[in-house]
Structure 1
Amino acid sequence: MNDFIPAHAPLAVQTRGELVESVHYGSLIALAPDGGTLLARGEPTAGVYPRSALKPLMAVAMLRAGVELTEQQLALAAASHSGAAEHQDVAAGILTGAGLTPQDLGNSFDLPYGTAERSAWLRAGKGPTQLAQNCSGKHAALLATCVHNGWPTQDYLAPGHPLAALIRATVAELTGEAITTVSTDGCGTEVFALSLTGMARAFARLVRAAPGSPERRVADAMRAHPQLVAGAGRDVTALMQAVPGLLAKDGFEGIQLIALPNGSAVALKVSDGGDRARMPAAVPALRALGVEAQLMAPFTALQVFGGGLPVGELRGVE
């Protein structure tokens, strides 16, 4: 087992008073616009599951297959949305446009992912649904891609489906890495083991691509509609709103991908899967790429409280 544990390094530290209370380990890579490494911690060449950070690359594959999506629908196809009414309406619109209904979805049943959205949903007496689940936009777009190409929709998640072959080939091309390890993500789609370096390379390609290309269309849709990519109160949405031209996507188990308009990029994995460390850990890398400190201020440190008063903070390792 030890042979498969990457050599992670400290990425974020939480203090309480004068003591370091907790340390989050992980791996990180920051690439310059020319693809050179500006900052590396841990073992960014080790294979990890990017989880939902794969969604923008999957959206590129769908566009290459000819599916017709509005800019809002494309942003939701790449999203891990909070399950607000707006999110569910856009997902339902993708299905309607393809002549389908929510009953055709193959993703898992869940409550809305956003805290406020989930609370409101439960107060209304509603239970888990596929449309409310955070990947419903991606699944609706996958189904629409099948309809456009005349592919069967009943088994669209099967490994032998034409859609699976298309996605695998696209992800391999964009990352520059062969896909050798495959598992299943929480929502039922395939997830591939890739390096953080390869994922950073892929996100850089999205923002550097020619206007109107599938890659650039995905990046532009996400940046134009950050509220659809995540939702109110979510750090990925807030980061894209704070830094002009920045592209960001998170993934379960401590994954964060970021690309800047000049083609520089950051990819990180928090080894314990801790979501709270994801954004503070990314801040030092973004500063190394030249993002202004004042733009990073809301994301730099999370306060730690004792008796209702701030007594420490969670901050990325410089």
Structure 2
Amino acid sequence: MTSTSTAPISPAVPPVLAEVVRSGFVEGRHRGSLVILAADGSVEFTLGDPSLPVFPRSSNKPMQAAAVLRAGLDLAGERLALTAASHSGEGFQLELVRKMLAEYGLRESDLQCPPDLPLDPVEAESYLAAGRDRERVTMNCSGKHTAMLAVCALNGWPADSYLDPSHPLQRLVLTVVEEAAGERVPAVGTDGCGAPLMAVSLVGLARAFRSFVLAPEGTAERRVADAMRAHPEYVAGNRRPDTWLMRELPGALSKMGAEAVQALALPDGRALAFKIDDGATRVLGPVLARTLERMGVDSPVLARLADSPLLGGAERVGEIRATV
């Protein structure tokens, strides 16, 4: 008796988006997928397969913040920027999180994000040197969680289950993500902070950021975009690329996510999104700078983004180099 079997079809290997060059030798490569949208929203350029779904991780935060506004919580300025933030744990950011908790009658123990050190390594070292331990408020998503709890209190929604995907707030987040991305969410997972995480394609993610910068004034989406762009230091931190970009590229909306996801929209409607397959966030700056150059952006901030040195004996001996 003869049996036959069909080998599974392997997906195409994603292209190399960046190389790790040490002492003139390419010692590593980072692969991924990328999309650029033209000002009219059409797909202008791709690498890999940006139609496949990914977990955008914290690049979804603008949509989560818009859902909080749609649910009735009146936020603006720094508070709204912090709601869409992956903050660094800098003093001014933690001060505002604690102030917001107090304003809404909440305690730090009400937060269901896990205790963590500040995201920024400099802040984390200072935190440990001061003899402090991990806290929920220092977790980079604590601003978002504070706003989620506040909107639950406003609407009489249960606070103990605010991270359940079936919770009214999270169902609204799903709606906002699908509307902004222009596609259905094919999978819902759990993010590092415990919140539901909606998957979309990279094309959908770029489309979502484009929709926020082009949204009419006064809408939840535009309010989030405006707050993030006006107060980028609350969205990330003073030593973070998202902050640099939104300070130095007028009108740009930028947000990175864990596992090396990046989305950005320019005020004229052009947008980009990419994902590095192995999750190496060290690649984000060089790839983002090169992609913006491809889009015709000319700004000194690009050189700052692209600079990703490799050290040997405390001396610069190489770099991470984008191949986009």
Q: TM-score, normalised by structure 2?
A: 0.94
Q: Structure 1's 4 and 256: CA in aligned 2 closer, same or farther, altered over 3 A? A: farther
Report what 2:288 is aligned to: 282
Quote the sequence identity (%): 44
Q: Residue 203 of structure 1 contacts residue 265 of structure 1 at CA under 8 Å; is this kept in 2?
A: yes
What's the counterpart of residue 92 of structure 2? Answer: 86
Question: 1:131 maps to what in 2?
Answer: 137
Q: Could you tell me which runs of 5 or more consecutive residues in structure 2 were left unpaired when the two chains were aligned.
A: 1-7
1:178 aligns with 2:192: no
Q: Does 1:305 align with 2:311?
A: yes
| Matching residue of 1:292 | 298
- 2:300 is paired with a residue whose SS is helix
1:73 to 63, 76, 79: 79
Cα offset, 1:231, TM superposition: 0.8
Residue 273 in structure 1 maps to residue 279 in structure 2: yes
Q: Which residue of 1 aligns with 2:154?
A: 148
Cα distance in 2 between the residues matched to 1:273 and 1:128 = 24
Query: Which residue of 179, 195, 206 corresponds with 1:200?
Result: 206
**Could you tell me how far 1:164 is from its partner in structure 2?**
1.2
Change (3 A) 1:202 1:106: same
Contact 1:38 1:288 in 2 (8 A): no
3-state secondary structure, aligned to 2:204: helix
The answer to whether the Cα contact below 8 Å between 2:215 and 2:222 also exists between their aligned partners in 1 is yes
Structure-2 residue corresponding to 1:225: 231
Q: CA deviation at 1:272?
A: 0.4
Q: Does 1:209 align with 2:215?
A: yes
**Deviation readout 1:266-304 (Å, 9 max, x if unpaired):** 101010000100121122221122210534111123122
State the alpha-carbon separation in 1 of the partners of residues 214 and 268 from structure 2. Answer: 7
Name the Cα RMSD after superposition.
Answer: 1.7
Cα separation, 2, equivalents of 1:100 and 1:174:
31
- Given that 2:244 and 2:301 are in contact with CA atoms closer than 8 Å, whether structure 1 keeps it comes out as no
Q: Distance in 1 between matches of 2:9 and 2:124?
A: 40
2:51 corresponds to which letter in structure 1?
T
Compared CA separation, residues 6 and 205, structure 1 to 2 (3 A): farther
Is the Cα contact below 8 Å between 2:117 and 2:139 reproduced in 1? yes
Contact 1:7 1:43 in 2 (8 A): no
Task: Note the residue ranges of structure 1 that are not aligned, 5 or more in a row.
Answer: none
- Indicate the residue corresponding to 2:5 in structure 1: none
- The answer to whether the 8 Å contact 1:175/1:199 transfers is yes
- 1:51 equivalent to 2:54? Answer no
C-alpha separation in 2, matches of 1:221 and 1:6: 40
SS of 1:291's equivalent? Answer: coil
SS in 2 for 1:315: strand
**Which segment is superposed worse, 277-286 or 302-311?**
302-311
Q: Is 1:95–1:143's contact at 8 Å kept on the other side of the alignment?
A: no
3-state SS in 1 of match to 2:212? helix
Q: Return the alpha-carbon distance in structure 2 between the equivalents of residues 183 and 17 of structure 1.
A: 41
Question: Partner of 1:19 in structure 2?
Answer: 25
Distance in 1 separating the partners of 2:253 and 2:178: 20
Q: How far did 1:141 drift? A: 0.6
Which range moved further: 123-132 or 239-248? 239-248
Change over 3 Å in CA distance of 1:97–1:36 after alignment to 2? same
Q: Quick one: which amino acid aligns to residue 219 of structure 2? A: S
Answer yes or no: is the 8 Å Cα contact 2:249–2:299 preserved in 1.
no
Which letter does structure 2 place at the counterpart of 1:269? K
Conservation of the 8 A alpha-carbon contact between 1:301 and 1:313: yes
Q: State the 1:123 CA deviation.
A: 1.2
Normalising to structure 1: TM-score of the pair? 0.95
SS in 2 for 1:269: strand
Greater shift after overlay, 268-277 or 209-218?
A: 209-218
Q: How far 1:155 sits from its partner (Å)? A: 1.3
Aligned to 1:169: 175
What residue number does 1:41 align with?
A: 47
Does structure 1 conserve the Cα–Cα contact (< 8 Å) formed by 2:53 and 2:186?
no
Q: Is the 8 A contact 1:256 1:279 kept in 2?
A: no
Residue 128 of structure 2 corresponds to residue 122 of structure 1: yes
Structure 1 counterpart of 2:4 = none
